[in-house]
Structure 1
């Protein structure tokens, strides 16, 4: 993973996350991974519309096709959350084509414990080509090296084997399964698999 810039000192005990200097862009072999910017809504909308049927079973926000305006609103909210350090959404762009490959990021963060959750989805035309595994590994390195993570989690619907395989290929350990944990988009109760990496064990 190549960081385009180094973050500031994030190791101070009790530092307010709003004071952290966090790089907004870094790279993996094939991807530019960066924070959302105003205007990204069109690219995100195009990718979501293309991938809606594959996303709908797993993503609560993928029940209906969004308008471009709705996608841009979502991007602008994510931009503000990134700046506030309350959620670090990251967009995945192909280095050669410039096309949006998918979305990922660090969510449900506990800055005191340095605990983060990685979420992800792939655009249909780029699925099954290792891009999401590549992104997860780069984002994991980013969280460890720059944010000094102690714990990183991946949660997925127990029926979503493709998502689970990403966690496994990236070296995450299955800690357990939360039974009847959430409602899926079809109204059924779903189990949730919880994978993790922990400082001193996996990194």
Structure 2
């Protein structure tokens, strides 16, 4: 059924056990910049946007673009905030949205001081549930460079099915050709229409 995504009234925040997961807001640039600065060495091998540390103003401009895209339903970035401390743990979101088929791709990164604590697995599970319940997702994907084993383990822990590996699929940030692992959950197989 055709949908005008601008007409969808969606919550801009929801929670998991330890996280407040919310849409970007004006002023978030400082927190994002701080987290990126702490984590730049860990992000550089995987994230094209992390090849140089941005100025705070650049991070704020990026947040404002993300806010507009969220409101337009073109891309849905989420800030991951610790409910206990308020610290930005990382960012995630639903990307490469196809509203006709209700397909969404989850992306994520975690700040270095929060690695290994299960925050991204927790966030990705909550975002998958959000996509199923609020967006009536028919397909949710996680894609990653085949060399990014930490990212692949998130998909595996959450029960996503490895559908295949796209060989020489894209250029990695180092310029080499990379293979892309495609994990997915689909309606009627890994989740029910009601999101149970």
CA RMSD of aligned residues (A): 0.5
Deviation above 6 Å: which 4+ runs of structure 1? none
Q: Which residue of 2 aligns with 1:191?
A: 179
Match of 2:91 among 100, 103, 125: 103
Q: Which residue of 1 aligns with 2:156?
A: 168
- Consecutive unaligned residues in structure 2, runs of 5 or more: 192-196
Distance 2:124 2:104 in 1: 12
Per-residue CA deviation, residues 29-71 of structure 1 (Å, 9 max, x unaligned), is: 0000000000000000000010000000000101101110110
Matched, 1:39 2:23: no
Normalising by structure 1, report the TM-score: 0.93
Counterpart mapping for 1:1-203 below 5 A: 13-203=1-191
Normalising by structure 2, report the TM-score: 0.97
Distance 1:63 1:15 in 2: 37
SS at match of 1:21: coil
Distance 1:183 1:15 in 2: 34
Number of positions where the alignment pairs a residue of Structure 1 with one of Structure 2: 191
Distance 1:129 1:47 in 2: 16
SS at match of 1:200: coil
Distance 2:167 2:183 in 1: 15
SS at match of 1:146: helix
- Consecutive unaligned residues in structure 1, runs of 5 or more: 1-12
CA displacement at 1:15 relative to structure 2: 2.2
